[in-house]
Amino acid sequence: MSIIARFLPLALLFSSASFLGVRGEGLQISLKNPVHNCVLGINDALTEVSFGDMDLNATYYGRLCGSEMFTTSMALSVMKWCNTHIQIESGHEGFSNYCEKYGETYLPSWEEILKKVNQSNVIENVNTIDPEIMGTVFNSTIVISEEAFKAGKRTEDVWTTEENYHHGFGWGLYILVGMAILVGTLNRLFAFLVQKYATPYNASELAPRSPGIRGKLYTLYRKHIEVPALFGYKHSQASAWGMLSLPTRLQGLFIFTYVVLNIVFTVVGYEIFHDNLYWYGQRDTQIIRYLSDRTGIMCFYNLPLLWCLAGRNDVILWLTGWSYSTLNLFHRWVARIAVLQAIVHSAGYTWLERDIIATEMKERYWWTGIIATIVMSLLIPFSIRPFREKFYEAFLIIHICLALVTLVACWYHVQIWDGQYDPWIWASVGVWAMDRFIRVIRVGILTNKALFKKGTNAIGTIPNLNENGLIRLSISTSIKINPKPGQYFFIYTPFSIKPWENHPFTLASWKFNEKNTDTTILNFLIKPLKGQTKKWQKEILKNQGKLSFKLFLEGPYGHENFIENFDKILFISGGSGITSILPYIFKLNQSSLILLPEFQIKEINLIWIIKNEEYAKDILSNELKEYIELGFCGSIPFKIHLYVTRENQNHLPTISSSIPQEIVNSLAYGNGNGTSLSRNAELESGSTSPNHTSTAIMNKVEIINEKPSPQSHSSSSDLSHSSPDLKDSKNKSMTIHCGKPHVRDIIDRSVNSLVGAERLAVSACGPSKLMDDTRASVCDIYGNNEGQLGGRRIEYFEELFAW
Ligand SMILES: Cc1cc2nc3c(=O)[nH]c(=O)nc-3n(C[C@H](O)[C@H](O)[C@H](O)COP(=O)(O)OP(=O)(O)OC[C@H]3O[C@@H](n4cnc5c(N)ncnc54)[C@H](O)[C@@H]3O)c2cc1C
Ligand SMILES: *[C@@H]1O[C@H](CO)[C@@H](O)[C@H](O)[C@H]1NC(C)=O
Ligand SMILES: *[C@@H]1O[C@H](CO)[C@@H](O)[C@H](O)[C@H]1NC(C)=O
Ligand SMILES: *[C@@H]1O[C@H](CO)[C@@H](O)[C@H](O)[C@H]1NC(C)=O
Ligand SMILES: *[C@@H]1O[C@H](CO)[C@@H](O)[C@H](O)[C@H]1NC(C)=O
Ligand SMILES: *[C@@H]1O[C@H](CO)[C@@H](O)[C@H](O)[C@H]1NC(C)=O
Ligand SMILES: *[C@@H]1O[C@H](CO)[C@@H](O)[C@H](O)[C@H]1NC(C)=O
Ligand SMILES: *[C@@H]1O[C@H](CO)[C@@H](O)[C@H](O)[C@H]1NC(C)=O
């Protein structure tokens, strides 16, 4: 089943890609100018004048092709100026096509036309582009002068060159994206191979080997390019008054290159000349016309990419393993660029057609173009971060509707090109359809039994009916899967008034059902907010804290960070961010026991900063309880450092010492009421008797009530092996601190505790400020100086909790 799930999308993708490729060939993008430009150029020069025998009632081409004076003039000029046979013949083919298609006339062969020439009535060497001659009505055959021929030929050549540039630069963008994807893929492959086949890092070496020049460069790369935020230190936090999310520097570099390339590609490669017969002497018009075409076409090139970057299921994600939030960031930037291009394109054409705008308005291509540009532009204000955060569901529906309208309007807009531009629309539709299709497949594979079988597949509980507490959701899948930490699933409530609504939640832990071997039970911890989660909370509370549901699951998405190759792990989490850390701890517990001898990790420290002690009590007395009792996560020594930061009105981190005591009590007796263990039978539970647990736990916890001092780098906790005065707390598996920690201190102490060549993984999940602090601190640690670490010895991982 999973093989099908894996290959079906790829097959779909390749078929749509080859479709695009085949259609692309029809565009005949070539670097050489077509040979028929010689004849078409002569046509351009000849149409600067007219002839006495033209049927003024006929269409444009009917008038030309039906006029004997015109066709004989053309034939004579072609014989004079086009010197190769292929130019002459392919030109005839090109021109006679126009006569048939647009003029409903038949163009005889050159030989036949030449027979009609009245040799005594031919005017030689007419410079049709001389302003004095332009517009003259001739009553005889003429032969154009060299100057006129050159202007005509150049006009055609420049036109085809510009067209090639428009498309060439479009492909240039794709090449850049392709290279980025290639680099991402190779990077991932490399990381995978290193992790699989590299000889184990010898952590028992007394000192790290001194890094070679490559090692030093790698350190600098990580310090200055890969890890840091673009400017300053904000990445997760909103910048620019909450409107923008700033990328990391590496992401920023790519986005910057992409934006710059779009701008460069928009302004270069224009050949403007006075004698251009399409717009004779009108330099402004030439520039605006090329610019408008260029931006319109590049906008079309950006569309499929835009759709690709928006999907949950797309190739870029699979190949590179980049996070959805990274791609989403790219999506927003490509969108901004595409909208700007559409606006420039529309403004340009409005200016070009300013004199006939009223008639243009009646043309379908014109008003659908206006709709497309307006709707695309509307997408931007409807996607700003505050709106997304406040009204996510409204944002989503508006976004999808406007995107759909844009595609349809674009489709009609380019109909005048006889399908030449359809491939880009189809590619966007294809990418979109594929994403939706795979979503359905994923839901079907994971939870089809919820739809076709009676009974429920999910149990939601709220321990102690605590209104501030978490919802624990256990969902059985319809097939056995092998979950990994870092994965998240979208949960649907199919039997509600909004069955399409779905929300992402991180997998907290899992269990294989012994009785029913082909299901896996996935556990989620959900913090009730204002929307769907609030509804779940209400329903569960109404049912005495336990309710059976039918839910759909879509996933798994997300990927695991390989923290297991490090010697020490520092988890930093804030508030509900702990839910992304728990699955890693859960897996380490299991795998460290299975892989006992070769397991590398020597120590895990979990920093958890909380405002709301209710919340902490809940998780401490459930998911984390066993570790606190044992002081071990599987075979690895495990310590929890809890920071309670409830601030008083003066925003000083002083709190009554009763809160930590309450937390300890809740650990001993369950969450306030001593019933939490039995209430959570569905989840992981310890089977030790409550009384034994109480005393054991009390001995394991210590309250440290010192005043936190941001300046000092070594006194606020027992994290370091090197502080002898804290020996007592060495055996304690949990310490509770009052006040906020200084993230930099914590990381410094973890770094100082590394012995020899040991490597440290720092993994953070929580409020954006905490993540940005952690990122900045890790960046500071990178370096080749004393007290700093090389690029390979410390690694920063960020767990996704929002985008
Ligand atoms: C990768 C990921 C993993 C997550 N894991 C967990 C978890 O394990 N436990 C947990 O409690 N929360 C988790 N969240 C957050 C969770 O998705 C939101 O809290 C939930 O969607 C809120 O639903 P609501 O209808 O109550 O939202 P509202 O109260 O309407 O909105 C609250 C916030 O959630 C955001 N939000 C709402 N719907 C979505 C959506 N479909 N996709 C993304 N953001 C949304 C809104 O922008 C807003 O900022 C995770 C989010 C992401 C992106
Ligand atoms: C053009 O058409 C009009 C009316 O349709 C007619 O009166 C006129 O004679 C035509 N002219 C030519 C040159 O055919
Ligand atoms: C050729 O042109 C000349 C001069 O205009 C004219 O007298 C003569 O009748 C034309 N011959 C034919 C066959 O049209
Ligand atoms: C051709 O004939 C038309 C009228 O038949 C006349 O107006 C025009 O001036 C003539 N052109 C030339 C170049 O003699
Ligand atoms: C840790 O792993 C052991 C062995 O698999 C298991 O018995 C125990 O319940 C696990 N603890 C937690 C908290 O998951
Ligand atoms: C149980 O919890 C409720 C609210 O959390 C509290 O009011 C009550 O006193 C608790 N009961 C016991 C026996 O601790
Ligand atoms: C647990 O402790 C309570 C008092 O706190 C006592 O009444 C009870 O008998 C004890 N149970 C066991 C199994 O020791
Ligand atoms: C720490 O625990 C070990 C056994 O688990 C014990 O031998 C040792 O005395 C304890 N040390 C302290 C300082 O309590």
| pLDDT tens digits, 379-410 | 999 999 899 989 999 999 999 999 999 999 99
Backbone angles phi, psi at 51, to 5 degrees: -125, 150
Q: Measure the CA–CA gap between 736 and 718, rounded to whole angstroms.
A: 11
Ligand 2: lining residues by beta carbon, under 6 Å = 55-57
pLDDT band for position 449 (50/70/90)? confident
- More confidently predicted of 621 and 200: 621
Angstrom CA distances, 619 to 158, 527, 575, 628, 667, stand at 70, 12, 11, 12, 10
| Residue whose CA lies nearest to ligand 5 atom number 6 | 590
| Residue whose CA lies nearest to ligand 1 atom number 25 | 531
Look at residue 193 in the predicted model and tell me its pLDDT.
76
Look at residue 209 in the predicted model and tell me its pLDDT.
58
pLDDT band for position 79 (50/70/90)? very high
Give the ligand with the smallest distance to the CA of 395: 1
2: pLDDT strictly greater than 70: no
**Which candidate, 97, 107, 99, places its Cα nearest to that of 62?**
99
Identify the weakest region by mean pLDDT among 203-207, 280-284, 465-469, 729-733.
203-207
Look at residue 175 in the predicted model and tell me its pLDDT.
93
535: pLDDT strictly greater than 80: yes
pLDDT band for position 507 (50/70/90)? very high
- More confidently predicted of 795 and 727: 795
Q: Checking phi first, is residue 100 left (phi over 0); if not, alpha (psi -120 to 50) or beta?
A: alpha
| Residue whose CA lies nearest to ligand 5 atom number 3 | 590
Angstrom CA distances, 58 to 50, 64, 148, stand at 14, 9, 26
Ligand 5: lining residues by beta carbon, under 6 Å = 586, 589-590, 593, 626, 634, 684
- More confidently predicted of 354 and 200: 354
- More confidently predicted of 188 and 525: 525
Identify the weakest region by mean pLDDT among 125-134, 661-670, 679-688.
679-688
Q: Measure the CA–CA gap between 787 and 675, rounded to whole angstroms.
A: 48
147: pLDDT strictly greater than 70: yes
199: pLDDT strictly greater than 80: no
- More confidently predicted of 253 and 39: 39
Is any atom of ligand 8 closer than 6 Å to the C-beta of 731? Answer: yes
The answer to whether 601 and 593 are in contact (CB under 8 A) is: no
| Residue whose CA lies nearest to ligand 7 atom number 3 | 691
Burial class (CB in 10 A: 0-12, 13-18, 19+), 440: exposed
Element (DSSP H or E) covering residue 533: helix 532-542
- Calculate mean pLDDT across residues 466-475: 86
Look at residue 110 in the predicted model and tell me its pLDDT.
94
| Residue whose CA lies nearest to ligand 1 atom number 27 | 531
- Calculate mean pLDDT across residues 665-681: 49
pLDDT band for position 117 (50/70/90)? very high
Give the ligand with the smallest distance to the CA of 691: 7
| Residue whose CA lies nearest to ligand 5 atom number 14 | 586
**Which candidate, 751, 731, 747, 742, places its Cα nearest to that of 706?**
742
pLDDT band for position 231 (50/70/90)? low
Look at residue 489 in the predicted model and tell me its pLDDT.
95
Q: Measure the CA–CA gap between 107 and 116, rounded to whole angstroms.
A: 13
Look at residue 27 in the predicted model and tell me its pLDDT.
45
222: pLDDT strictly greater than 80: no
**CA 258 to ligand 6 centroid distance, Å:** 59
**CA 463 to ligand 7 centroid distance, Å:** 22
pTM here is 0.82
746: pLDDT strictly greater than 70: yes
Look at residue 684 in the predicted model and tell me its pLDDT.
35
Look at residue 803 in the predicted model and tell me its pLDDT.
63
Angstrom CA distances, 44 to 72, 150, 397, 709, stand at 15, 11, 51, 82
pLDDT band for position 24 (50/70/90)? very low
781: pLDDT strictly greater than 70: yes
Identify the weakest region by mean pLDDT among 100-114, 212-226, 423-437.
212-226
Q: CA 569, 575, 580 angle in degrees (round to 5)?
A: 50
| Residue whose CA lies nearest to ligand 3 atom number 14 | 118
Per the structure block, which two tokens stand in for 114?
Answer: 């030449």
Q: Measure the CA–CA gap between 363 and 395, rounded to whole angstroms.
A: 32
- Calculate mean pLDDT across residues 122-127: 93
The answer to whether 584 and 485 are in contact (CB under 8 A) is: yes
Query: What is the best residue among 731, 732, 733 to mutate for testing ligand 8's pocket, by most ligand atoms within 8 Å of CB?
Result: 731
Q: Which atom of ligand 4 is nearest to the CA of 138?
A: 13
Give the ligand with the smallest distance to the CA of 702: 8
Q: Identify the DSSP state of 724.
A: G
Look at residue 200 in the predicted model and tell me its pLDDT.
54
- Whether omega before 741 lies within 30 degrees of 0, making that bond cis, reads no
CATH architecture type of domain 568-798 = 3-Layer(aba) Sandwich (3.40)
Look at residue 202 in the predicted model and tell me its pLDDT.
54
